[in-house]
Amino acid sequence: MQFLAKLEDRFLISPKLIYFVVCASFYALHVFRAKFIKQYLGFDDDEYGDLCAVMALVSFSFMTMWSTLADALGRHRTVLIVLCLALAGSFELFLFVIRVNNMTARFYLSAAVLGVYSFFASGMLPLTDFLTLRKLSNRPGFSRDLYGRQRLWGTISYGLMTSLVGVVVQVFSLNALFYLIPASSVLCAICVLGLAPADEPKSLKGLFSRNPKPEKPIESKSMAPETEETKLVVGGEEAEEEIEGPKKPRPIFQLLKNPSYLFMLIVVFMTGTARAVMTTFLSKYLEEGVKLLPTQVATAANFGIFLEVVIFFFGPTYLRIFGIYWLLVFGQIAMVVRCWAYVILPPTPSNFWLVYLIELLKGVAFGFTQLAGVKLASDSAPKGLEATAQALYTSVYSQLPTVLAAVAGGRCYKAFGPNLLFNVTSVVSTVALCLFVLKYALDGSIRFPGFKRRSPPEETMTEAP
The pTM score is 0.69
Q: What is the pLDDT of residue 439?
A: 83
Comparing CA positions, the residue from 247, 162, 258, 182 lying closest to residue 212 is 247
What is the SS3 assignment for 294? Answer: helix
Q: What is the pLDDT of residue 96?
A: 93
pLDDT tier at 113, thresholds 50, 70, 90: very high
Q: What is the pLDDT of residue 94?
A: 93
Q: Do domains 12-202 and 250-446+459-465 have the same CATH topology?
A: yes
Give the pLDDT confidence of 255-289 residue by residue, as tens digits.
677 777 788 788 888 888 888 888 878 877 887 78
Rounded to 10 deg, the angle between the 76-91 and 103-121 helix axes is 160
CATH 1.20.1250.20 fits 250-446+459-465, yes or no: yes
Domain boundaries, the chain: 12-202, 213-247, 250-446+459-465
Give the pLDDT confidence of 297-321 residue by residue, as tens digits.
777 877 888 888 888 888 888 888 8
The average pLDDT across 346-370 equals 88
Query: Does residue 225 surpass a pLDDT of 80?
Result: no
CA distance 132 to 160: 21
- Going 279 to 280 to 286 to 287, the CA torsion angle's sign is positive
> Following DSSP, what letter does each residue of 238-250 receive, concatenated?
EEEE----PPPPP
Which CATH code of 3.40.50.300, 3.90.1150.10, 1.10.10.60, 1.20.1250.20 fits the domain covering 12-202? 1.20.1250.20
